[in-house]
Amino acid sequence: SKRIAEYSLEIADIINFPMKRRELLRYAALLHDYGKIAIREGVLYKEGSLTIEEYCKIQEHPAITKSILENINFSRDFKELPQIAGAHHEKLNGTGYPEGLTAKQIPLEARILSIVDVFDAMTSRRPYRDRMEFEIVMDSMESTVGAQLDPDLFSAFKKIKLDRLIQILAKEEEDNSHLLIEQDLIFMRAYDIQQLVDIMKRGAANADERKIMELFYKYYYRQYINGIDADVEKKYKIVSI
């Protein structure tokens, strides 16, 4: 998806990725879920729990993606694209799929895709739920670092500035980017994901930290679309120290 590509390129910029590899990463991000065209919509968008058979079917999509892309005559710079796109569900400890690759066997670009794919899955709207609470998303991802997610790349992910994070999050089924307020984005540019997580854990130490939390919640929970909740502090547990 476009969001996956944009998150990936943010990480690429942070780690000073070479331009050629950056383009390879972008195309792999855009095509990584192409294999889902072979999975029934009733399974992909099922609201209840998946059966073992259905879950196994969904797990086939990276291999299908790789197979489809291997039949395309890519230029030399993009020869690795099928392997990268097909490896975004691999885990560092070898328990991922479809090939059970371990850390050194997983392409760097695929390790980036793995991080942003997990984040996007939890922060995207689904037929059966809205995006998950941000604190839960970050805690969940932190718990898999080392076993599933690359520690260094996850640290790079947490350096993404909040203005870019919000701009990418706004690009859902209906692009709401035009509703973002420029002044708010400028203020959020001074903070990254790691700084926000730190503030959330210890509480706001000053007026600016309270403001960044209020602004983030306003956009993350789409209050800029649905109207601002006057009781935002109570609703999202904004605390000071």
User: Hey, which residues are catalytic here?
Assistant: 36
| Residue 151 tokens, joined | 């520690």
The whole-angstrom distance between residue 61's C-alpha and the CA centroid of its chain comes to 18
Give the C-alpha separation, 144 to 129, whole Å.
23
**DSSP annotation of 236:** T
Longest dimension (CA), the chain: 58
Residues 121, 125, 130, 135: what is their CA dihedral angle, to the nearest 10 degrees?
40
Residue 22 has a CB neighbour count (10 Å cut-off) of 15
152 three-state secondary structure: helix
Q: At 204, phi and psi to the nearest 5? A: -70, 130
Contacts of range 178-186, beta carbons closer than 8 Å, 24 or more positions apart = 179/224, 179/225, 180/219, 180/224, 181/224, 184/215, 184/218, 184/219
